[in-house]
Amino acid sequence: MAAEAGISRGTVSRVLNNEPYVSETARRAVEAAVAKVGYVRNAAARNLVTQRSRAIALIVHEPHSVVLDDPNIGNILIGTNAVLSDADHQLVTLMIDSQRDSDRVIEYLRGGFVDGAIILSARTGDPISEAIAELGLPASFVGHPPDAPAIPFIGIDNRAAAEAIVERLVATGRRRIGMLASGLDRDSGQDRLAGFQAALGDLFDPALVVRHPFYSYAAGAEGMAELLERDPHIDGVFAASDAVAAGAMDVLHRQGISIPEQVGIVGFDDSSWAIRCTPLLSTVRQPAETLGRRAAQQVLDQLLDGGEAPDGVILPTEIVWRASA
């Protein structure tokens, strides 16, 4: 390449990086040679000397339950990508589906393929989170932090949001209120349950909490059937997500129970499920795209501002009051 332009490698490098102090003559010679040879600079060599890759990883755990069922992930991705794209960084999404994946991803992170990472739906004791903390890799969690206090996060207050929406369920006169709880292995799931309990106070009855690992339609259908069996006189339901609520509503319909007259029901997420129920579902809106944007910004800030990790941030949620309760 340098030979092709008849110019030293140093000057070629300067031209390619738009550095000042390079003559028009040299610039044109290089550009011509580049076009002729179809030259493209090698990233590995560049990363080796600059110690940066201009790439940020977005790590997603467990595709079965998360990628497939979580309506927020798409919007989080869009927000993250938009911010990184503006900053001319490449977003690379890494999926973890097995122990082996986890080990390989850690290797990938340690290998310097990325300058930072955003972690979705981490769980406590997550090896990835530990590896990142240990590496000192600039990072940010979307959602509540596990026990890696060194890493900042962007989240919502699941507990307060759950409490708020359930409170209004109570305010409309419901007294036998059950919960279809999902994802209790994560803080978000636990917090929604805690908010539910807080809103109910004395009305809370642990027997009316049905647990399921996933936030799925099927979980809602099975859970609702179970709930009706435990107490046929249920008059309110808080579903851990809109998909869960949709499953529950179909079971209620099938049993001839009217919504919201006999049973009021509310969900979480304000996803596409919420607007294709009959009646339309009251739910909590998560600012998914903003979560993604802010997380990306947090990582970029650490990259530029010398690695100082910012604090965690809680974004407000909004209750969307529709017809189901």
Partner DNA sequence: TTGTATGCGTTATCAG
Partner DNA sequence: CTGATAACGCATACAA
Report how far residue 13's alpha carbon sits from residue 132's, in angstroms, rounded to the nearest whole number. 33
Nearer to DNA, 25 or 98 (CB): 25
In this structure, how many other beta carbons lie within 10 angstroms of the beta carbon of residue 182?
29
Nearest distance in Å: CB 277, a second copy: 10
Instruction: For DNA, give the closer residue by CB, 137 or 179.
Output: 137
Nearer to a second copy, 28 or 64 (CB): 64
DSSP state of 269: B
C-alpha to C-alpha distance for 244 and 238, rounded to whole angstroms: 9
| # binding residues, DNA (CB under 7 A) | 26
User: Closer to DNA at the Cβ: 4 or 205?
Assistant: 4
Query: Which residues make up the interface to a second copy (CB under 8 A)?
Result: 40-48, 53, 55, 63-64, 67-68, 74-75, 77-78, 81-82, 85, 88, 90-95, 97-98, 100-101, 104-105, 107-108, 110-113, 217, 246-247, 250, 272, 276, 278
Residues in CB range of 291: below 8 A, 6 or more apart: 72, 76, 79, 142, 154, 155, 156, 315
In the complex with DNA, the residue whose CB is nearer, 7 or 259, is 7
Residue type (1 letter), 225:
A
**Which residue, 14 or 211, has its beta carbon nearer to DNA?**
14
Nearest distance from C-beta of residue 313 to a second copy, angstroms: 24
What residue 317 binds from a second copy, DNA, none (CB within 5 to 8 A, per partner kind)?
A: none
Alpha-carbon distance of 27 to 262, in angstroms, equals 77
| Smallest distance, a second copy to C-beta of residue 177, A | 24
Other CB atoms within 10 A of residue 233 CB: 9
Work out how close the CB of 79 gets to a second copy at its nearest, in angstroms, rounded to a whole number: 10
Closest-CA residue to 148 (of 165, 136, 156): 136
The full length of the chain comes to: 325
SS3 content of the chain, % helix, strand, coil (to 5): 50, 15, 35
Kindly state the greatest CA–CA separation across the chain. 87
Q: Are 139 and 116 in contact (CB under 8 A)?
A: yes
Contact residue for DNA among 20, 38, 201, 206 (CB under 7 A): 20
Specify the DSSP element, H or E, that contains 90: strand 90-96
CB of 22 to DNA, least distance (A): 4
Position 129, amino acid: S
Q: Per-residue DSSP letters for 280-295?
A: PPBEEE--HHHHHHHH
Residue 248 binding partner per list DNA, a second copy, none, with a CB distance cut-off of 5 to 8 Å that depends on partner kind: none
Closest CB 4 distance from DNA, rounded Å:
11
- Asked if residues 266 and 325 have their Cβ atoms less than 8 Å apart, the reply is yes
Residue 16 binding: pick among a second copy, DNA, none (C-beta 5-8 Å cut-off by kind): DNA
Minimum CB separation of residue 204 from DNA in Å reads 56
Binding partner of residue 204 among DNA, a second copy, none, CB cut-off 5 to 8 Å per kind:
none
Query: Exposed, middle or buried, 201 (CB in 10 Å: 0-12/13-18/19+)?
Result: exposed
* Contact flag: residue 26 with DNA (CB under 7 A): yes
Looking at residues 126 to 155 of the shown chain, list those that interact with DNA (rule: CB under 7 A): none
Residue 95's DSSP bridge partners are 60
31-60 residues in contact with DNA (CB under 7 A) are 39-42, 45-46, 48-50
What is the nearest approach in angstroms of a second copy to the Cβ of residue 275? 8
The residues that touch DNA, with contacts defined as CB under 7 A, are 1, 7-14, 16-17, 20-23, 25-26, 39-42, 45-46, 48-50
